[in-house]
Amino acid sequence: MFNYKRVTPDFSELELLKKLYRNAFPANERGPLNSLIGGELNGSDVLAFYDDQTFCGLACLLTAGCITHILYIAICEALRDRHYGSAAIAEIRRLYPENKIIADLEADDEMAENHSQRQSRIRFYENNGFVKTAVAYRWHRENYVIYALGGTLTEAEFNDFWEHFYEEGKVASKF
């Protein structure tokens, strides 16, 4: 049975989770995971996903108001293509039923080395109910587009979301 556990600093499988995080995301895209786990960032939530007792993946979320942003989501490489990613999205939706769930995806660029991977990622999110919004930005020399589940998202809402964290003075430059 698919389930999740909230990750805290004393999480029993923290090293396994950190290993997946390091392997799934390039160093220049990784933010300070310990800040998300340790609760230094108000509104952060890190989830570990399981199929019964088998660790399947993780999600790092940030919530402000009625928006929950999927900062990172990853399924263990050996367990991909078994619908665990969709189960993780469904679990996030159940945890935040009133919120818009958003994710930033690399723009579909035919010239990109990972073009097929980008298209696959976009299809995954669209198959899980996400829709492309008009919100786009450039970060670390890469173009991103926001996809949303549970409603659309305006640029003003996206900016207000991040402004909430800047006002707290706790957003690392990586986020």
The CATH number of whichever domain residue 131 belongs to comes to 3.40.630.30
- pLDDT for res 168: 60
Domain contains 173: no
72 HSE (CA, 13 A, CB side) = 29
pTM: 0.91
- pLDDT for res 56: 97
- pLDDT for res 169: 56
Parent domain of 79: 2-168
> For 50-81, what is each residue's pLDDT tens digit?
999 999 999 999 999 999 999 999 999 999 99
- Indicate the average pLDDT of the chain: 91
- Structure token digits, residue 43: 């509104």
Highest mean pLDDT: which range of 48-52, 116-120, 135-139:
48-52
Helices (H), 29-142: 33-37, 84-95, 115-127
Domain contains 174: no
112 HSE (CA, 13 A, CB side) = 15
- CA 72 to the chain's CA centroid: 3
- CA 39 to the chain's CA centroid: 16
